[in-house]
Amino acid sequence: MDQSARVGREQSDVALQALAEMKAVATARYAIVQRIMQRLDKKQRIAGQLQQLLVN
């Protein structure tokens, strides 16, 4: 394999590794956002129930 092909291969490997790391980070962030949304939904339901208790 000549020098330019080797350099190209190394750059491709680095790029693929970077993409894999970005995907892992994005997956982790997505999981965090899902948990936050679930908590907000739960709090909203509790607030609605509290409001109903106060109205009645």
What pLDDT digit, counting tens, does each position of 10-51 carry? Answer: 999 999 999 999 999 999 999 999 999 999 999 999 999 999
Q: Which domain holds residue 11?
A: 1-56
pTM of the entire predicted model = 0.70
- Check pLDDT > 90 for residue 4: no
What is the per-residue pLDDT for 24? 98
DSSP 8-state secondary structure symbol assigned to residue 2: -
- Check pLDDT > 90 for residue 1: no
Report the number of distinct structural domains present in the chain. Answer: 1
Q: How far apart are the first and last CA of the chain?
A: 80
